[in-house]
Structure 1
Amino acid sequence: MKLVRFGAAGAEKPGLIDGNGDLRDLSRHIGDIAGEVLSPEGLATLAALDVFALPIINSDQRFGPCVAGTGKFICIGLNYSDHAREAGLHVPSEPIVFMKATSAICGPDDDLVIPRGATKTDWEVELGVVIGKTAKHVSKEDALEHVAGYCVLNDVSERAFQNERQGQWTKGKSCDTFGPTGPWLVTRDEIADPQNLSMWLTVNGEMMQSGSTQTMVFGVAELVSYLSDFMSLQPGDIISTGTPPGVGMGLSPQRYLKAGDVVELGIEGLGKQKQRCISYG
C-alpha cells in the first residue's frame, strides 16, 4: 500500500493511493497514519479494505508528512561509503547516530525555509524507515518485522550550524522544514529489497545526487537492530538512513541553497518530492 496524509498543514486526513494512482480517503476507517495503524495487524486491516469503495479525492490536494505521531527522528551519518569519501572522512566502524527535531518534519512539497543566519543550507536525499512495531534488543534477522514501511526524506542541513557552532550536528539538522517526508509511506511488503533502490536529487533541474541504497555501509535491518540496543523504537519513529554523494558541501567549489532554488528528489518505488526555497521572514 501507498499510505498518505492529505490536506492543510495540521489538519491532514489519512488516505491511500490506489492502483490507478488516484487518492482515496481513509478517514472513515482510521483517525490517522500513526500508532497502532502502523502495526502488522493495523496494516493487515487496511489491506483487507475494498480500495475502490473508498471515496476518491481530487488530485490537487497538498500531501502532508506521510506518518503522524513521530516520537523520534533518528538520523545516521556517513552511511554511504562514497559519501564518506567525498566528505574526506573514514567509513565508520559503527553507525553514527544523531537526532533531528520532530518539529522539522513537513510535507514533501512544502516550501523549504532557509533559516535566519544560515549561509550553507544543503540537501541530502535519504531513505526513510518508519517503525510499525516496538523494537527493543531485536536481532538483525528479525529487525524488518518491526518496520511498517519506507519513504523519501530530504535531510536538509545547515552546514554552518552543523560544523561551525561547536560541532553539534543536531543544530544544523533541526530547523523548521528541514525534514520533508513522503509523499507516501510505502508498506514493507511492496519493497522487495530496501538495499537495492536507486535515488536521485536535482537542484534547479541539475542532477546533484544519483546513487543507490546498495552502497549503504549499514543496511536497514542492521540499523534497526543496532538502534534497538540503545533505545526502544516505537510506532511512528523515523530512521533517516544516510545519503549518497553529491551534497553541496562535497562539491568543489561548494554550493549551497538560496531563495528561489528548487530541489527535487526521489527514490525508486517511493515517489518524489519538490521544494521551493524561501528565506525566513
Structure 2
Amino acid sequence: MTTLTQKSRPAGRSIPARRRGSVLSRQRRAGWWMIAPALLHSLVFITLPTLAAIGLAFTDYSFGGTPHFIGGGNFAELFGDVRFQAALKNTILYVIVVVPVSMAIALLVAIALNQKIRGLGAFRTAYYIPVVTATVAVGTVWLWIFNPGSGLANGVLSLLGLSPVGWLTDPGLALPSLMVVGIWQGLGSKMIIYLAALQGVSPQLVEAANLDGAGRWQVFRNVTWPAIAPAQFFVLITSIVGTFQVFDLVYVTTKGGPGLATNVLVFDVYNNAFQSLRLGYASAETVIMMILIGAFILIGRRLQGANARD
C-alpha cells in the first residue's frame, strides 16, 4: 500500500504541472496574436522606412532616379549647408527650452488640479483641448494672436503703453514665439499623465510624512517626486521625441522664416525631400536627427537616474 501511495503522488502532481504548462503556452500564443497588429504596424511603418532612410542616406537618390552609392558625401555636404546649420541650431534650442519648461508647468498645473476645487472637470477639459485640436487650427489662431497690426498680443501691449512687436516677423522673436505656442499646445497631454501619477501616490505615505512633521515641500521631495518618477521619465522621452518632430506649426505660421529664424530639422527635411526632390540628402538629415534624438534621450535618462539617486 505504501509503495502504491508513493508511486501515485508524483503522477498526481504531474497532471497539474502539464496543465499549467499548456495554459501558459496558450496564453503566450494569445499574447503574440494580440500584439501581432502592433508589431506588423511597427515593422511596415517604422522599421522598414528607418532602414530605407539609413540606406538612402549614403546615396545621391533623387525622386524617379537611380540611387548611386556616394558614401558620406551627403553628410559632408550637410555640415557645410547654411540651411541645415540653422535648422540644427533652431531645433536644439527649441527642444532645450520647450521640453523642461512645458514639463515644469504641466506638473504645477497637475498638482493644482489634483486638489478638491469647484469645476475641476471643466478645468481639466480646458487644459486638454489644445492637445486634440488640429495643429493647423492652432497655428491659424496664433497667427491672429501674433498679427502685428490687429493681433491680441500687440493689443495687450498697447493697453500697457508699449509699442507693437513683430512676433513672427522679427528674426529674434519668431522662434521664441513658436516656443510659447509649443509649450501651450503640449501642456494638456503632459498634465494628464502627471495627474494620473499624482493620483496613484499612496495616501498612507503622505499621511505618515505629515505625522512626522514634514512640510509640503518635504512631502513632495521625498514622497511624491519618487512616486511619479516613472511618469516623469515617460513624459520626458515622449516630449523629446515630439518636440524634435515639430513641423506643422512651423509650416502654418512662418514657413521657416523670417530668413532661417524658424527653420527646423523636419521642415528642412521636407524642403529637401519634397521641394528639391533630393531624397538621399534628406535621408542623411533624417539619420542625423535620429542620432540627436537618441543622444537627448540618453542624456535625459542619465539625468533621471541622477535625480532618483539623490
Structures share fold, TM-score greater than 0.5: no
Per residue, is there more helix in 1 or in 2? Answer: 2
TM-score (norm 1): 0.25
Per residue, is there more strand in 1 or in 2? Answer: 1
TM-score (norm 2): 0.24
